[in-house]
Structure 1
Amino acid sequence: MAAGFIVFMCIVVASKGIDINSLKLEQVVMLGRHNIRTPLTEGLELYSSKPWPKWNDAAGILTPKGLRFEGYIAEYISQWLDTEDFFEGCPQKDDVLIYANTKSRTLESAKAFAETAFNNCNISVQHYENLGAFDPLFLPIFHNKTEAFKKQVAEEMKKRLSEMNLTHAYTELGRILNIKDADICKKLFMCDLNTQQSEIVLEDGEEPNVNGPLYIANAVVDAFIMSYYEGRPMSDVAWGQIETDQQWDLLAKIITENQNIRFKLQSAAKDIASPLLKYMFNIFNSGKPKFTLLVGHDSNLNSVLTALEFKPFERKLQFEPYPIGGKIVFQKFSDRKGQYLKVEYIYPTTKQLRDGEKLTSNNPPQRITLELNGCPISPTGYCQWSEFMKLNELFD
């Protein structure tokens, strides 16, 4: 009895006065990325004469495995919510919002989540009325149209490009592609990704982008990663040329640099993410609905994390910067003393994705506690809700 009391008191003290055993989960807002899809770029034959694996669907479509794995994530999260006594049976419709971008991969991921997490509860997925257009809420574009802002962003992107060092990654990718025998070499005279410069592309109403070697390399590595996640034989993943984790880490630097140059921008992240963050803070302010899932893209996770100024963190057991199927989970807790925020990044490992493993308490996804610069956390990962809500002023 005495030993148990001592352990209990240690927990309270370590949490800076927060008794984690008395906390009640009041609200959850998740920002997630869709699940496994087909590669985004068609026409990859230009970059290698080797036979590329065939996909059953067009570019950027959720695969059947992606559909199934989103269900695994939903089941895991549903079980976690049960341990928190979050809902009793089926929730009221007003207590749940599942909202997805208009891309089929986001809509289908959201439907898979809803059908599994809230099985037989008749929870529907909401979306922008025009399914033929990218939902402005998720569209990662610049909203500030001034020339001064555009110039500032261009300068930051160019600086990032100049500091980027992908020499070894480009060399390795060129070897895997055997690029000197590819049409891009024979017809366009790009025979070495290291010999040409990438270029910034900024157009009104369009995502910030990069042309040249970085665009090409990102498209190719994306195809390799999706083939790996899909569980294809390794002979069909980069033609069996990726044999070590070190190679994956090297090639994944291309994906990371592409993301960072385009969306991890100190000068523009708040502007890019402002519609999504205003929407999220409206939910935080009202306290309703009780559970929200917003299904978007890696660009959304990147810009939101950057805009809110989260501290750097390690993505364990993954080589993607914003893993497929991952969720940033904002959790509002309360006790008799006050209200608190905890933010976790829940995402599947590369092994879990490739092997199609069910996610359970015995085989959980990664759960990384995140910390905002403006909201210091206790040793157990909680910060004051009032401090978090001050960030709302940045997006009014």
Structure 2
Amino acid sequence: MAATFMALLCLVALSKGIDIDSLKLEQVLILSRHNVRTPLTAKLESYSSKLWPKWNASAGYLTEKGTRLEGYMGKYIAEWLDSEDFIEGCPNKDDVLIYANTKPRTLDTAKAFAESAFQSCNITVQHYENIEIFDPLFLPILHNTTEANKNQVREEMENKLKEMNLTDSYIELSRILNLRTSDICKKLYLCELHLRRNEIILEDGEEPNVSGPLDIGNSIVDSFIMSYYEGMPTSEVAWGQIKTDQQWDLISKICKENQNIRFNLTKGAKDIARPLVKYMFDIFKAGTPKFTLLVGHDSNMNSVIRAFDFQPFVLPEQFEPFPIGGKVIFQKWSDVSGQYLKVEYVYPTTKQLRDGERVSLLQPPKKVLLELKGCEISKSGYCPWTEFMKLNEYA
């Protein structure tokens, strides 16, 4: 009865408009993607006879600039928390959880954030006990491996492939690479990306994947994007062949479709994200810790966002659908009438990343308000906490 009464109070408050000045921030949970890293694929030389840029670290590692940029984001979040009187001084250890996947780029991102957001507070980054393997919490695989479920996922992926139209993107990428002069063309006769077929790969214990031009193109464009973020001279970013935002938009569609087909799945996403979403809801239910940062990958951002069933949204001034260093921030607020949820996607723009800009409350990163389909928001972006918790399918 009491819960019903509180829900009614929340709905009344939303209908009248929430008094923002009376709200108090109670809990924050952030799902983050790691910051700028080296390209994931080290052996791209076969796809172009041109000289590829050199990196100072192995494939898939956080760069020095990525560490610095994450430090800026940590400092910005700390400023925001301080402005809301959320944490004063060094927090109690039980009040803060910073947990990262076992990959060096996620661990280093979490450390950079912790050292800047909670400077001199000796906050330890936590991780899975076996650092040699991918943390099962973040591993984006199908957990329901029945043939019926796999067939359903495969069918949706196949339908997405049929709807996909990347011909212009593949042609532009082949031009940038001068693919006809490459070793892959000479030896394996892969001379035009748009003329090759994609094949879906669903194997137990492995990420849903697509082999073919989509996978190849994604790896190549990813290397271009990372070199752009890293601040390399424009002559070294795709050999100076990308000169306009329209070109970036065209080739980055390959990365967007790669994410869309593999993880933006109607039912598959809930299965893929199940361990991570359950972990998040356990924190929401407990009400502790006060502050949580979970550092994973774009696959985690994609599948979790789809699993929560957010309304469609657009992230302006970005090439990527789930930007490097971006953070989905779940916020629990309260007033005398009840408790509310607000969710925002906070992320650096491509310019802020490339220029290495320091973000702050005065010069903030980009911020986009998100809305859950099952929890209608007020004009100021809040929905009743009780309604949000009813969406929990992982109890």
Q: CA deviation at 1:283?
A: 0.2
- The CA deviation string for residues 327-367 of structure 1, in whole angstroms up to 9 with x for no partner, is 00000000000000000000000000000000012321011
Alignment of 1:1-396 (within 5 A): 16-392=16-392, 394-396=393-395
Partner Cα distance (1:361, 1:70) in 2: 15
Partner Cα distance (1:152, 1:62) in 2: 36
Partner Cα distance (1:57, 1:385) in 2: 44
The runs of 5 or more residues in structure 2 that have no matched partner are 1-11
Is this contact kept in 1: 2:18–2:380, CA < 8 A?
A: no
Could you say what secondary structure the match of 1:256 adopts? helix
Partner Cα distance (1:363, 1:131) in 2: 36
Amino acid at match of 1:211: S
The runs of 5 or more residues in structure 1 that have no matched partner are 1-11
Partner Cα distance (1:203, 1:333) in 2: 42
Q: CA deviation at 1:15?
A: 6.9
Partner Cα distance (2:14, 2:310) in 1: 22
Could you say what secondary structure the match of 2:99 adopts? strand
- The CA deviation string for residues 202-244 of structure 1, in whole angstroms up to 9 with x for no partner, is 1000000010100100000000000000000000000000000
Is this contact kept in 2: 1:100–1:294, CA < 8 A?
A: yes
Task: Identify the residue that residue 4 of structure 1 maps to in structure 2.
Answer: none
Partner Cα distance (1:300, 1:175) in 2: 32
Q: CA deviation at 1:77?
A: 0.6
TM-score normalised by the chain length of structure 2: 0.96
Q: CA deviation at 1:56?
A: 1.1
Partner Cα distance (2:314, 2:260) in 1: 16
Q: CA deviation at 1:199?
A: 0.5
Partner Cα distance (1:13, 1:296) in 2: 35
Q: C-alpha root-mean-square deviation of aligned residues, in Å?
A: 1.1
Partner Cα distance (1:266, 1:395) in 2: 16
Partner Cα distance (1:286, 1:387) in 2: 16
Amino acid at match of 2:147: E
- The CA deviation string for residues 265-290 of structure 1, in whole angstroms up to 9 with x for no partner, is 00201000000000000000000000
Is this contact kept in 2: 1:35–1:69, CA < 8 A?
A: yes
Could you say what secondary structure the match of 2:61 adopts? coil
- The CA deviation string for residues 32-79 of structure 1, in whole angstroms up to 9 with x for no partner, is 000000000121001001000011111100000000000000011100
Task: Identify the residue that residue 6 of structure 1 maps to in structure 2.
Answer: none
Partner Cα distance (1:90, 1:391) in 2: 34
Q: CA deviation at 1:19?
A: 1.0
Q: CA deviation at 1:111?
A: 0.3
Is this contact kept in 2: 1:263–1:269, CA < 8 A?
A: yes
Is this contact kept in 1: 2:184–2:191, CA < 8 A?
A: yes
- The CA deviation string for residues 71-118 of structure 1, in whole angstroms up to 9 with x for no partner, is 000011100001100011111000000000000000000000000000
Amino acid at match of 2:128: Y
* Matched positions, count: 384
Is this contact kept in 2: 1:156–1:267, CA < 8 A?
A: no
Is this contact kept in 2: 1:327–1:346, CA < 8 A?
A: yes
Amino acid at match of 2:201: V
Partner Cα distance (1:15, 1:110) in 2: 39
Partner Cα distance (2:211, 2:245) in 1: 28
Amino acid at match of 1:338: G
Partner Cα distance (2:188, 2:159) in 1: 27
Partner Cα distance (1:265, 1:250) in 2: 23
Q: CA deviation at 1:27?
A: 0.1
Amino acid at match of 2:298: D
Runs of 4+ in 1 over 2 A off after TM superposition: 12-17
Amino acid at match of 1:273: A
Partner Cα distance (1:145, 1:238) in 2: 40
- The CA deviation string for residues 279-334 of structure 1, in whole angstroms up to 9 with x for no partner, is 00000000000000000000001001101110011111111000000000000000
